[in-house]
Structure 1
Amino acid sequence: MAAISNLFANGADGDFMVLDEAIELTCQSLLAYWSRHSRHAVAWSGGKDSTALLTVLIHLIDTGRLPQPDVLHVFYADTRQELPPIQQAAEAVMARLRQRNWIKVHVVRAPIDKRFLVYILGRGVPPPNNNTLRWCTRQIKVEPMAEALVAALAAIDDTALMLTGVRQGESAIRDDRIVMSCSKDGAECGQGWYQQVLPEAKGIRGRIATLAPILHWRVCHVWDWIGRVSYAPGYGEWPVSIMADAYGGDDAADIAARTGCIGCPLTEKDTALEIVSSMARWTHLSALLELKPLYRWMREPAQRLRKSGVERLKSGAIAKNPQRMGPLTLEARAEALVRILDIQRRAGVDLIDAEEEARIRELIAARTFPDKWDGDEPRADVWLDSVYSDGSTQPILFRELVGS
């Protein structure tokens, strides 16, 4: 009988790749591009993939396999919406990072008026959805990160290499994007996903290249590193084991769950939160399961306003979506604030801090609404004459039956 090479290699004969081989490919990917740039940075979300990237990168530098840069910029995207195990692990990792004088940690947050719950409750913008209003990732992650990059690179003339924890197999949409663009900017197979075209931010266009050096890792590699190797002596002893709770505890590698914001409105099911809140040490988080139904309630017509007649653009043309639903009513926002404050009190978390609560109340008191809305529009569940895209109107039949 032929010998089995190993259970985790991915070579030409169809076997799977072991972690050491995956790390070696990562090292080769980094070495291929490291010296092309005078500045180096890591985009870190606090999740398992970007944490694996960050800690294996520092291990490679510590062991001399990768040159130590003068400064390594680590940009942590603090959305204020992370699951507590992930947030706690991130804070512990940041404490360790700050012990190294060649690492500069940037905690990146959106401006207060654009933070997730301030934007919803203070300005009245409905919770995001996957169809017409997916504003959250761009506003609380991408744009703040781009602005932090601009600030960090303002004083240099050279280019920087931004490392990301993107992995193939984590998202079908992302995989399609990788396949379509993997050959950009002279990238070669096996050297990661290297691009010089991102991000599209004013002031840094053409000065940032991105590289995904763990693109080839599978979820078993990520958990082998995070759950076993990374906190062993000689590998950094990183305090990240608590992170496994957010992905399924002892079964994290098998479950292969993905995490997002607490109560994420863009998902059908809050799998990670359900897993965490079922564990003895995190049962107090079960109150957070009430957030998703609350976000759905906030998107209902009874909690929102609607344009009542023909809406004209600045050009004079008629808007294509007459009688569109719009922002949350002031009453719905005030009620949602009370409910979220109660949820976070029972869960023992801090979704809305004192500064944000004060700002939300200030914006509600000032009758703040999104652009092109003044708050005097009818509620969206009120029956109105139909208005069509050409500006014509169809009156309500049997108006007396609908109370108009």
Structure 2
Amino acid sequence: MSDFSLASPPAIKSTGSTQPTLFEGSARLAYDDAVDLTIRSMQAYGPEHEHWAIAWSGGKDSTATLTVIAHLIDAGRIAPPKTLTIFYADTRMELLPLYLAARRIMEQLAVRGVRCEVVRAPLDKRFLIYILGRGVPPPNNNTLRWCTRQIKVEPMQQALAARLDEIGGSALMITGVRQGESAIRDQRIRMSCGKDGAECGQGWYQQVLPEAKGIRGRIATLAPILHWRVCNVWDWLRIYAPMAEYGGWSTAAIADAYGGDEAEEINARTGCAGCPLASKDTALDSIVAQPLWGYLAPLQRLKPLYRELRQPANRLRKEGVERLKDGSIAANPQRMGPLTFEARRMGLSRVLSIQAEINEAARRLGRPKIDLLNAEEEARIRELIVAGTWPDGWDGSEPVADQPLDRVFADGTVQPLLFSSDDLGGGL
């Protein structure tokens, strides 16, 4: 199978209908201009690279980027590369409607002869295994935001490095980065200018290459829909992309996942189901409010579970001054650390209960099942717990974090407790 085929939908032709097209004069001038800038961006920088890659999360912006680039190639508006590779980031925690839409789009890519690689983190670094098996607390936005790097960025870098080794060269990495409404409204054209001498309006092209191992000096990046408004994204996903003339892509379901006809107004950002980094699960709340997806409501119990797991009663704490590998004293003595085994077992039981409840409803309603933890992942979590696994720098001898301790300062001085637990209980 070749990496890219032009045998799918033909170039756009006027249909004679009143439906405006992307390339004809119409009342949607702003939209046509947005697509025209994308074409100019790809025409300016695409030919400089024989190999293209697209980083695809399954969300609205990256899906719009993927499908519009594929369509523009099919329509003859931009010249195809020698190879095109799609990298789909499967975190194992995607919202179910988005995951199902991504699967259908991958099937459509396969029919077109487009190479699509599903990228996942190694077993022991997947989100729930890392938490419940290894004992690393759920991420937060302040002191421990490990998830994006570990389950998305690093696996994507490794997959790209392997592909670069295979093709024996460099590549243009196309991303769905988008500045959005404000960049257009405020006419800040500089936001859509290249970083290395690009013309205004030709997308955000960077020759400042990532320093990650395996791809250093081997890719440039381009964000060809940087200038799109959110309404442009939704019009493409809901109206144009599903039409046969534009490829017949299965993108309408993505709009449903973001809130259906109200998706643009809701403007939800999607992440993992029950994302512990989001202040509110707007996308998940929108999904479960829809009758077809209401059975997924137990997923709303994940965020409270993650908050509970981060509580002191479920974690260990360093007891005194902590010496680092270089002999220096840690700046945060008595820091809280990993989850206790009791907390991990509790978390595993809750996740499996949520999954079972959803899948029983799915069976009863004839709806798709969910797969938070498959058999291999559950077994690995149990194996890590039985093996007494702790994160680096911890051995399980540390006290539970809600236990009262003398206060230790960074300089090693100690402030004793005013009262011990025996003192507090002595008169009872």
Q: 2:89 matched to 1:69?
A: no
- Aligned-residue offset at 1:22: 1.2
How far apart in 2 are the matches of 1:71 and 1:314? 46
Q: 2:319 matched to 1:308?
A: yes
**One-letter identity of the residue aligned with 1:53:** T
- For this pair of structures, how many residues does the alignment match? 386
Q: 2:370 matched to 1:358?
A: no
Work out which of the residue numbers 105, 108, 126 in structure 1 matches 2:119.
Answer: 108
For residues 235-281 of structure 1, what are the alpha-carbon distances to aligned partners after superposition, in whole Å with 9 as ceiling and x for unaligned? 00001111112211111122211111100001111111111101100
- Aligned-residue offset at 1:232: 0.7
**Within-5 A mapping of 1:35-74:** 35-74=47-86
State whether residues 383 and 402 of structure 1, in contact with CA within 8 Å, keep that contact through their aligned partners in structure 2: no
**Within-5 A mapping of 1:343-382:** 343-348=354-359, 349-382=370-403
How far apart in 1 are the matches of 2:182 and 2:58? 18
Moved more, 242-251 or 139-148: 242-251
**Within-5 A mapping of 1:204-353:** 204-348=215-359, 349-353=370-374
How far apart in 2 are the matches of 1:18 and 1:396? 67
State whether residues 305 and 327 of structure 1, in contact with CA within 8 Å, keep that contact through their aligned partners in structure 2: yes
How far apart in 1 are the matches of 2:203 and 2:34? 11
With structure 1 as the length reference, what TM-score do the two structures score?
A: 0.91
Work out which of the residue numbers 72, 94, 97 in structure 2 matches 1:85.
Answer: 97
Q: Where does residue 401 of structure 1 map in the other structure? A: 423
Gaps of 5+ in 1: 1-7, 9-14
Match of 1:200, SS state, is coil
1:259–1:313 CA distance, 2 compared to 1 (3 A)? same
1:159–1:323 CA distance, 2 compared to 1 (3 A)? same
1:17–1:260 CA distance, 2 compared to 1 (3 A)? farther
For residues 283-319 of structure 1, what are the alpha-carbon distances to aligned partners after superposition, in whole Å with 9 as ceiling and x for unaligned? 1110000000000000000000000111111222211
Work out which of the residue numbers 379, 384, 387 in structure 1 matches 2:405.
Answer: 384
For residues 341-390 of structure 1, what are the alpha-carbon distances to aligned partners after superposition, in whole Å with 9 as ceiling and x for unaligned? 01112223111111000000000111111100001110000001111101
Q: Where does residue 37 of structure 2 map in the other structure? A: 25
How far apart in 2 are the matches of 1:42 and 1:391? 51
State whether residues 316 and 401 of structure 2, in contact with CA within 8 Å, keep that contact through their aligned partners in structure 1: yes
**One-letter identity of the residue aligned with 2:60:** K
**One-letter identity of the residue aligned with 1:129:** N
How far apart in 2 are the matches of 1:45 and 1:66? 23
1:181–1:24 CA distance, 2 compared to 1 (3 A)? closer
**One-letter identity of the residue aligned with 1:82:** E
- Aligned-residue offset at 1:198: 3.6
1:266–1:62 CA distance, 2 compared to 1 (3 A)? same
State whether residues 126 and 298 of structure 1, in contact with CA within 8 Å, keep that contact through their aligned partners in structure 2: yes
- Aligned-residue offset at 1:157: 4.3
1:182–1:131 CA distance, 2 compared to 1 (3 A)? farther
Work out which of the residue numbers 156, 173, 178 in structure 2 matches 1:145.
Answer: 156
RMSD of equivalent CA atoms: 2.1
State whether residues 287 and 343 of structure 1, in contact with CA within 8 Å, keep that contact through their aligned partners in structure 2: yes
How far apart in 1 are the matches of 2:80 and 2:49? 13
Match of 1:98, SS state, is helix
Match of 2:81, SS state, is coil
Match of 1:381, SS state, is coil
Moved more, 252-261 or 56-65: 252-261
Q: Where does residue 201 of structure 1 map in the other structure? A: 212
1:402–1:92 CA distance, 2 compared to 1 (3 A)? farther
How far apart in 1 are the matches of 2:192 and 2:395? 44
For residues 13-59 of structure 1, what are the alpha-carbon distances to aligned partners after superposition, in whole Å with 9 as ceiling and x for unaligned? xx985322211110100110011111101000000111111111011
Q: Where does residue 5 of structure 1 map in the other structure? A: none
Match of 1:290, SS state, is helix
Match of 1:220, SS state, is helix
Runs of 4+ in 1 over 4 A off after TM superposition: 178-183
